[in-house]
Structure 1
Amino acid sequence: MQPLHGKVALVTGASRGVGKGIAHALGATGATVYVTGRTEHGEDATVPLPGTLHDTAALVTSAGGVGIPLRCDHREDAQVQALFQRIMAEQGRLDLLVNNAWEGYQAKQRSGKSGFKTAFWKLPPAFWDTMHTVGVRSHYVASVHAAAIMVQQTSGFIIHMSAMAGQSYSDNVAYGVSKAAVNRMAVDMAHELRSSNVAVVSLCPFMVATEMLMARRKSKQLLPWMETPLFVGRAVVALATDPQIMQKTGGVLMTRSLAAEYGFTDVDGHQPKWEQQG
C-alpha cells in the first residue's frame, strides 16, 4: 500500500538525522521526495558526520518512492527560489513541505563554547543570528514559496520541525526562542491558509538518536528513552495521510502523542514513553 503515491514532498535539511528519517518514511508511502541540504557528497560535509543527499535520495527510492537530491543552501534566498521553480517545472505541484533545515548545533560549534547549555551572556551575539537564520527565517522563506503553490492548488500541508524547547526552557535562550518562533509561525500561517485548504503544524520530537547525538558517549546511555529519526518520519506520514488534517491545522504537536493516537511505533516495535525507562 502506497498512500502517497503521486504526491510530491520536499524535506529540507535531509542529508542525515531527522530529515533523513522523514524522507525515508515518506519514500515508503510511494511519494516523490525532494531532499535538500549542503552535503551533496561526503567532501561537502559541514560537520564530521556520515550522510549525504545522495544517500538519502537512494534510501527514499529503495523504500518505494522516488528520491531526488538537490543541493540548496537555505541561507540563500535565490537558491531557495530556484529550488521551488525546479520542483514546479518537473512535477507541476507540491503537496508537502517539511521545514527541517536547522543550523543550531553548528552555531554552537562556531561559538567556541564547550557545550550547548551556555548562559546567553556568555555567548557571542552571532550565536543568535546563526540559530535563527537557518531554522526560523529559512522556514519562513520556504513556506512563502510553498504556500503560493498550495493556495493555487487549494491543497497542501506544511510541517515546521520544532522542539519542546519552544514551550519550556531548555539549554539556552536563543534555542528556546527560535523554537517558540517556529511554533508561532505555524499558528499564524495556519490562520491565513485555512480558507485555502492548506494545513500548517509544528511538530516536536523528543530526544532523537541522530548521528550527532549518537557520536556522544553519554547520549548512548539514553538510547532506550530516545526516538529514532524514522519514528519522527512515521509521525509525519501519519499526519500527511490523515484525511482530517485540517482539524489539526495550527497545532503544536508531539511525536509521542501522535504515536498513541495513530498507532505507529518506532523501528523496534515500541512506542517511546514520556518518562525515562529503567
Structure 2
Amino acid sequence: LDILVNNVYAGVDTLAEHYKQQRSYWELGPDESPGILWDSVNRVGLRNHYICSVLATRMMLDYRNELNQEVGDSSKPSEPQRPGLIFNISSFGGLQHLFAVVYGVGKCAIDRMTADMAVELKERNKSVVVMSIWPGLVRTEQIKRLAGGTEVTGLDINTHSESPELTGRIIAVIAKESQKDLMARSGRTFIVADVANNFGIRDIDGRAPVSFRSYKMLLHMAGWKRLAAFVPAFLKVPYLLLKPASPRF
C-alpha cells in the first residue's frame, strides 16, 4: 500500500438539519441524544479515519520492510524508497466554529491525530508521511442538493466552491514530490486552494480556486458581499496569524 486518503463521512444530513434549525449544542431534536448526534457526525469520519490509518500504517511498513529485505538479497543498486502517504481530509472547521460543536471537535481531532501520528512515526524513523488536507466548500452531489443551488455558509455554491477533483489533483501532485519534501510535510495541515495556487493547478472548470484565507472569501462569508467585490482574491490572512489558533500549519 502506497497511499491512503481518509475521506469517508456520513454526517452531512445531520449537520445540515442542525444548521437549518440554528440549534446550539444543547438543543437537540425529539429523537436525538448527545451520544447519537456525536456518533452520526464523528463515528464514520473521525473514528474510521483513525482505524484505517492504523491498519494502513501497518501495511505500509510491512511492505517497505519486505522491499528492504529484497534489496538486501540483491546485488543490484537500490533506488531511494518512497514513503507511504496518508492524507486525512479535514476542514477549516477545525480552526473556528462551523456548523456545530460536534463538527469542529471532530475536525480538530483529525488534525491533532495527524500531528501526533507524525511525531510517533518520526520517533521510530518510519517511512510513512501523514498530513491533513483542508478543501474549501466542495461541490459534491449532496452539498448541491442541500444548498438548492444557492448558498452554504454565505457562499454562492456556483462561484465559491471547489470540485471534488481539485483535492485529488493536489494530492496527486504532492505524491510526486521528493522524499525530503514529503517528510517535511508530515504532521502539517495544507489548504487545497493554497497548494493548487502554489503549483498553478486549476479546477476542472478552469478557474483558480480561492482560499478561505482570502479576505475576499472571508468578507463573503461575513455577508459583506459588496465590499468583497472590490477586494482582490490574492490578499490573504498570513499563516503567521493562524499559527496561534493551530500550530500545525
TM-score in terms of structure 2 length: 0.68
The answer on 1:142 being equivalent to 2:47 is no
- For 1:261 and 1:153, how far apart are their aligned partners in 2? 32
- CA-to-partner distance for each residue in 1:60-119, whole Å, 9 max, x for gaps? xxxxxxxxxxxxxxxxxxxxxxxxxxxxxxxxxx0000011111114347xx65727531
Conserved 8 A contact 2:6-2:89: yes
- For 1:205 and 1:113, how far apart are their aligned partners in 2? 22
Conserved 8 A contact 1:99-1:159: yes
Pick aligned residue for 1:153 from 63, 67, 75: 63
For 1:60-209, list aligned pairs within 5 A: 94-108=1-15, 113=18, 115=20, 117-123=22-28, 124-125=33-34, 126-154=36-64, 155-194=83-122, 195-209=125-139
In the alignment, structure 2 segments of 5+ residues that lack a partner are 65-82, 218-227, 230-249
Q: Which structure: larger Rg?
A: 2
- For 1:187 and 1:204, how far apart are their aligned partners in 2? 14
State the number of aligned residues: 183
Pick aligned residue for 2:189 from 252, 263, 266: 252
Pick aligned residue for 1:226 from 161, 167, 177: 161
Summarize the Cα distance change of 1:108–1:226 in structure 2 as closer, same or farther, 3 Å threshold.
closer
Shift of 1:162: 0.4
Segment of structure 1 superposing worse, 238-247 or 205-214: 238-247
- For 2:59 and 2:189, how far apart are their aligned partners in 1? 23
State the match for 1:66 in structure 2.
Answer: none
- For 1:265 and 1:168, how far apart are their aligned partners in 2? 27
Please give the secondary structure, in 2, of the residue aligned with 1:115: helix
Counterpart AA for 2:62:
Q
Counterpart AA for 1:226:
S
Counterpart AA for 2:194:
S
Conserved 8 A contact 2:18-2:100: no
State the match for 1:240 in structure 2.
Answer: 175
Counterpart AA for 1:115:
K
Summarize the Cα distance change of 1:143–1:211 in structure 2 as closer, same or farther, 3 Å threshold.
same
- For 1:117 and 1:148, how far apart are their aligned partners in 2? 42
In the alignment, structure 1 segments of 5+ residues that lack a partner are 1-93
TM-score in terms of structure 1 length: 0.61
- CA-to-partner distance for each residue in 1:211-241, whole Å, 9 max, x for gaps? 1121222239431111111111112112212
Pick aligned residue for 1:214 from 144, 148, 152: 144
**Identical pairs, percent:** 32
- For 1:251 and 1:214, how far apart are their aligned partners in 2? 30
For 1:20-31, list aligned pairs within 5 A: none
Counterpart AA for 2:195:
L
Please give the secondary structure, in 1, of the residue aligned with 2:86: strand
Summarize the Cα distance change of 1:108–1:171 in structure 2 as closer, same or farther, 3 Å threshold.
closer
Counterpart AA for 2:61:
V
Conserved 8 A contact 1:151-1:193: no
- For 2:163 and 2:46, how far apart are their aligned partners in 1? 24
- CA-to-partner distance for each residue in 1:2-54, whole Å, 9 max, x for gaps? xxxxxxxxxxxxxxxxxxxxxxxxxxxxxxxxxxxxxxxxxxxxxxxxxxxxx
